Amino acid sequence: MAYDCASIVRQFTVPGAFRSAAPYGTGHINDTYCVECVAAGRLVRYILQRVNHRIFAAPDRLMQNIVRVTGHVRAKLATASPANIERGTLTVVPARDGKAYHRDEAGNWWRVYVFIEGARTYDVVQNRSQAFAAARAFGAFQAMLSDFPAATLHETIPAFHHTPSRLARLKEAIGADAHNRAAGAGAEIAFVLAREEMTTRLTTLAGRGELCVRVTHNDTKINNVMIDDATGDGVCVIDLDTVMPGLSLYDFGDCVRTTTALAAEDERDLARVGMSLDLFAALADGYLSSARALLSPLEADLLPFSGMLITLEIGIRFLTDYLEGDVYFKTHRPGQNLDRARTQFAMVASMERQMAQMEMIVARLR
């Protein structure tokens, strides 16, 4: 679908003249554009996004969360790290009517962020220092929000990381088999069903009050943190659509899923897929360097397990979407969601084989 980005950008308080807009990034959910404007003879870039309102039922509430959370982070940076205030958090550019979004005539929801220059995201981690930097940034994000009242945030997607519900939905999709795809995914379905007992572990502990609910990001994959081109530091945590009350372990877990991966999320050659212990050690070190003080002993115990659990959960979601006809995650070729599910399950198997070493690494660092 082609949108008239120039006229959408004009709805926002963007100074200067619109010059161009081009699709940007590799996110699976929103439509993202890099916009160039010229103001006072200078080229200035912005991120323009169409929020996926099929997935996010109330984008106005979602934007309210983002404005509040980025305001909180900005205030923290002002005292702890003033040099980082411009690039250390997303900056929402308001619409001309003062709202944090613009709704077009067709009912689409648009927003504009200041473009964070001199940094980029990576889909696959390049080295140990990136793993450290990414995890340190996510830990710091959690720490900066540790005094934010979690219950006042809207739940932008209900039960987002409730793994047992994700499994129940998969079972429904298998039962319905609306696209006759279940037979071709027999091995993947069996892999999940053999691990059913894992799926309830964190939700049971949370239900008993043994794990506390915090403000969490809930989508801490490696390409949701900008890495500084010059210093290699994790400069800004982005993609804040799912910031809401949650368990810190799911955030650490999703760092493990994506930041220790030796191959792309949709790699077809499973011989290349696996979890790198070396990257896990760097990531655990980075996360603990900023989040150690937050964690309870039980949370620290469960860090290695959380990586395996969320990788299983995201695999379940990719597999469900494949069976339901590829309606949730963006796909660029047939079978891509099944390939993504397969890589997740190969990652789970790799973590199962290396769990004892992962536990030793965390025991040494905590």
Binding interface with ligand GN1 (CB under 6 A) = 27-29, 55, 219, 221, 224, 239, 241-242, 265, 314
For residue 218, state whether it binds Mg ion (rule: CB under 5 A): no
Q: Which residue sits closest to ligand GN1, CB atoms considered?
A: 28
Q: Which of 8, 27, 249, 343 binds ligand ADP (CB under 6 A)?
A: 27
- Phi, psi for residue 296 in degrees, rounded to 5: -80, 160
Q: Quick one: residue 41, left, alpha or beta (phi over 0 = left, psi -120 to 50 = alpha)?
A: left
The overall longest dimension of the chain from CA atoms, in Å, is 62
Number of residues that bind ligand ADP (CB under 6 A): 18
Position 235: which residue type? V
For residue 224, state whether it binds ligand ADP (rule: CB under 6 A): yes
Q: Where are the beta strands (DSSP E) in 253-355?
A: none
Q: How far apart are CA 329 and CA 28, in angstroms?
A: 5
* Residue 115 contact partner, candidates ligand GN1, Mg ion, ligand ADP, none, CB within 5 to 8 A by sort of partner: ligand ADP
The pair of three-digit structure tokens given for residue 179, joined into one six-digit string: 């696209």
* Residue 90 contact partner, candidates ligand GN1, ligand ADP, Mg ion, none, CB within 5 to 8 A by sort of partner: ligand ADP
The pair of three-digit structure tokens given for residue 30, joined into one six-digit string: 């929103």
For residue 239, state whether it binds ligand ADP (rule: CB under 6 A): yes
- Phi, psi for residue 141 in degrees, rounded to 5: -60, -45
Touching ligand ADP, residues 32-91 (CB under 6 A): 32, 47, 90
Q: How far apart are CA 225 and CA 245, in angstroms?
A: 20
Touching Mg ion, residues 27-46 (CB under 5 A): 27
Q: Which of 3, 18, 115, 329 binds ligand ADP (CB under 6 A)?
A: 115
Binding mask 114-133 for Mg ion (x = CB under 5 A): --------------------
Q: How far apart are CA 222 and CA 261, in angstroms?
A: 10
Least separation in angstroms between CB 174 and ligand ADP? 27
The DSSP symbol for 276 reads -
Q: Provide the binding-site residues for Mg ion, judged by CB under 5 A.
A: 27, 224, 239
